[in-house]
Structure 1
Amino acid sequence: MTRTASPTPLEGLRVIDLSTSLGTYTGRLFADLGADVIKVEPRGGAPERCTPPLTEDGVSLSFAFTEAGKRSVILDDHEIGGQAEQLERLLDTAQIVLTSEGPSRLRQRGLHPVDVTRKHPQLVHVSVSPFGLTGPWADRPASDLTLLAAGGLLALAGEADLPPVRAWGNQTSVISGVHAATAALIAVLVQEDTSLGQIVDVSAQEAIAHSLENAVQYVDLESSVRRRVGSGPVEAGTGLFACADGWIYLVGGLGGLPLAWDSITNWLLGSDLPDATQLHEPRWLERSWRRNEEAVQIFRDLFERFAAQRTKQELYEDGQSRGISIAPVSTPEDLLSSPQLVDRGFFRTVLVNGRALAFPGSPYRFDGMDISPGNFPARPGADTRAVLDALPATATTTASKE
């Protein structure tokens, strides 16, 4: 889609994106907010352009998602450290530079944050790396899978008696990207006041460890370490339950506390399930019984018989009206037709090789501003000539002045 003429929060901010797949979502967040994000690709294009799933004409959907709204340039000498004149000129025009490799690799490329900010003191250098710029693991190679494991999130995913299961997609890039973008914008506020940049050192492992759902709180509140339990509930009244057209998630209790138990039991008692009266027996108020496998199964049998003739939307509306924490398990089709998301214009049309595709937009709004993904730079280096022609004739870095 073509951006409207409305102002954007980061209008006038330039970001040079030198990242790999680990850091590229950070750049997408900046692009959505209106920054001029210039993606520097090697000749032939970034390897992530070939990451499946692919469209019929060979475009990586995940790459199209992370690169929407960016401009693509190819700099032949961007790997040659201090000799990379075009890159130095490009950095001279920017406020943020984004990298996503370990310190040794960055040093080889002449892109270590200490070296870059010495030559370009105005830059905020956002370094998203697997384990951070320091420490004994700083230069260890990593993948999405190993970072999920190192950060602890993998231990919470999957069935209890089976190996852990990795969530689909490049989740470490998304989680790290949100942390990195937030920290970078704080650094930009300082930059606006002082005209000086700084190094923002984001460890993907630490970002994952900061995102462990409520596992840390379990240690504090229950003196227990959370384990993966799969899709099965650990206590009666809580978990995934089948209904007429899919699944709903119900929270009847949490941490052994009954929460909405009375509302749920009264809901079932008002139906045509005569054996639901047993839920008013005193034992159902005991934490140890509700966490018993027999109790979990009794409740499941009752609730799924109740839900079998009701849609997830009917259950959601009815349960919410009773103060019960309940939510439908939405499919992609459900989300695309959600009246709430449609009304707010969440899904946006992005042109990918001339083909209009629906992409998720931004989950926030700014009054009077259009926040949305821009078009995808389908051809590697599509914007090289326009970007380079607009650069100053010579670099004005601190290093060149010296």
Structure 2
Amino acid sequence: MTVHDSPGPIAPYASAARPLDGVRVIDLTTRLGAYTGRLFADLGADVVRVEPPGGLPERAVPPLTEDGTSLTFAFTEAGKRSVVLDLADPGRANQLERLLAGAQVLLTSEGPAGLRGRGLHPDDVTRRHPGLIHVSVSPFGLTGPWADRPASDLTLLAAGGLLALAGDPDLPPVRAWGEQSSLIAGVHAATAALIALLALEDGGHGQIVDVSAQEAVAHSLENAVQYVDLEGIVRTRAGAGPAEAGTGLFACADGWIYLVGGLGGLPLAWDALTEWLQAGGLKEAARLREPRWQQRAWRRSASGVRTFRTLFERFAAPRTKRELYEGGQRRGISIAPVATPEDLLTSPQLTERAFFRQVAVGDATLPFPGSPYRFGGLDVAPGDAPAPGAHTRAVLDALPGTTTPTPARPKE
């Protein structure tokens, strides 16, 4: 992997081993921005994760492997190189500046006051390094009255509006598992950073990329905006139950399937769905041909939802997810199995495409999700998760002007 001594032209795509080969990224993020660096590492960038002595506190976040390695941290750090620097030490801080001088991208994830206190505010960094792209991922962005407010995943989901859509309508909102706001912000930041890299390659000038996690969450509100635009309805929490007969989660022999058979003003799959149930021996399915099932108001009634569920789950009870999926797909019915982690690991489709990759995590080797995209002739996949400081000497010794003392020759 190429290490640039100073910011300059990025290696042409055609000659790169991977799309971002030759790009160096300095990662100073917390959990909020760590996924951005992981996405860059997958694409071949040399992502240097700078950690304090003893390693980042995120390394201790459960769930843990048997040797105490955080699985969530390993996921966001796969493919990066770890360098331990005590930035409170002026000498080490100078080494960070030298790292920045040879990089194309800097990733941070604090508010403006926190960054300024460390001499890392984007205005200051890009003044010292005009060829650097500073991607600042922060809870609320670099400006505005909330710029320096602390935030957690819960408060960011709430501030961005996504929490209002999660859970049952008669109960408080439910936060999704994991750091979902971090993943959402990370994807947005990586997309913006790639655009900035194109500008750097074209004009040789860096820039500040200001990413607000709140705004990234607000940009990811499922179809809530379309509901307002097309139907004049403000979406609220719908809960786990279906809002309309023919649509929702249904139990089967080995788990659950999700069916979309009755959604919309005209249920296009209704006839095919009815024929499928009847052909499977469910004579009572003939009731679904009654004219009232073409009326959206009936399909949305509690009686309509309950009646359909009783019929369909009677049909689905002896059948597996795979049988239902394949049978529905053959008839043009929108249906999908609710896959468990075990289902994914044994999926013939994902296996054929080598989606899961073996990644070294502490003392273990575990299957990790790979990248959901492919480049012809290039291998795009996560690398191993580094131990704290595993690459400190290799990275620092490669800095311009660094000389490694020659060992004294033994006396003869």
Class of the TM-score when normalised by the shorter of the 2 chains: over 0.9
SS of equivalent to 1:393 = coil
The higher-RCO structure (CA 8 Å, 6+ apart) is 1
CA contact (8 A) 1:79 1:109 kept: no
Q: Give the aligned residue type for 1:21.
A: R
* Structure 2 CA distance for partners of 1:325 and 1:195, relative to 1, 3 Å: same
CA contact (8 A) 2:264 2:296 kept: no
* Structure 2 CA distance for partners of 1:124 and 1:293, relative to 1, 3 Å: same
* Structure 2 CA distance for partners of 1:83 and 1:70, relative to 1, 3 Å: closer
CA contact (8 A) 1:256 1:291 kept: no
C-alpha distance in 1, partners of 2:186/2:121? 19
Pair 1:44 & 2:57 matched: no
Instruction: After TM superposition, give the deviation of residue 274 of structure 1 in Å.
Output: 2.1
Question: Unaligned 5+ residue runs, structure 2?
Answer: 1-14, 403-412
Q: 1:225 aligns with which of 226, 234, 252?
A: 234
CA contact (8 A) 2:52 2:87 kept: no
Q: 2:383 aligns with which of 374, 377, 389?
A: 374
Q: 2:267 aligns with which of 258, 261, 280?
A: 258
Q: Give the aligned residue type for 1:61.
A: L
Pair 1:19 & 2:24 matched: no
Query: What percent identity do the matched residue pairs reach?
Result: 74
1:392 alignment counterpart: 400
CA contact (8 A) 1:347 1:358 kept: yes
C-alpha distance in 1, partners of 2:43/2:87? 30
C-alpha distance in 1, partners of 2:207/2:137? 14
Structure 1 residues 2-401: aligned runs within 5 Å = 7-77=17-87, 84-378=93-387, 380-393=388-401
CA contact (8 A) 1:78 1:87 kept: no
C-alpha distance in 2, partners of 1:256/1:238? 13
- Alignment size in residue pairs: 388
C-alpha distance in 1, partners of 2:92/2:389? 20
Instruction: After TM superposition, give the deviation of residue 160 of structure 1 in Å.
Output: 1.4
C-alpha distance in 1, partners of 2:111/2:271? 54
C-alpha distance in 2, partners of 1:6/1:109? 35
Instruction: After TM superposition, give the deviation of residue 84 of structure 1 in Å.
Output: 2.0
Q: Give the aligned residue type for 2:169.
A: A
C-alpha distance in 1, partners of 2:88/2:194? 26
C-alpha distance in 2, partners of 1:237/1:200? 45
| Worse-matched range after superposition: 299-308 or 148-157 | 148-157
SS of equivalent to 2:365 = strand
C-alpha distance in 1, partners of 2:359/2:17? 20
C-alpha distance in 2, partners of 1:111/1:274? 70
Moved over 2 A (4+): 77-80, 253-257
CA contact (8 A) 1:79 1:110 kept: no
C-alpha distance in 2, partners of 1:259/1:115? 58
SS of equivalent to 2:137 = strand
Instruction: After TM superposition, give the deviation of residue 6 of structure 1 in Å.
Output: 7.9
CA contact (8 A) 1:91 1:97 kept: yes
C-alpha distance in 1, partners of 2:198/2:29? 23
C-alpha distance in 2, partners of 1:128/1:293? 45
CA contact (8 A) 1:349 1:357 kept: yes
CA RMSD of aligned residues (A): 1.5
Question: Unaligned 5+ residue runs, structure 1?
Answer: 395-402
C-alpha distance in 1, partners of 2:110/2:266? 45
* Structure 2 CA distance for partners of 1:345 and 1:78, relative to 1, 3 Å: farther
Q: What's the TM-score, normalizing by structure 1?
A: 0.94
CA contact (8 A) 2:67 2:363 kept: no
C-alpha distance in 1, partners of 2:89/2:145? 26
C-alpha distance in 1, partners of 2:138/2:65? 29
| Worse-matched range after superposition: 23-32 or 226-235 | 226-235
C-alpha distance in 2, partners of 1:255/1:96? 46
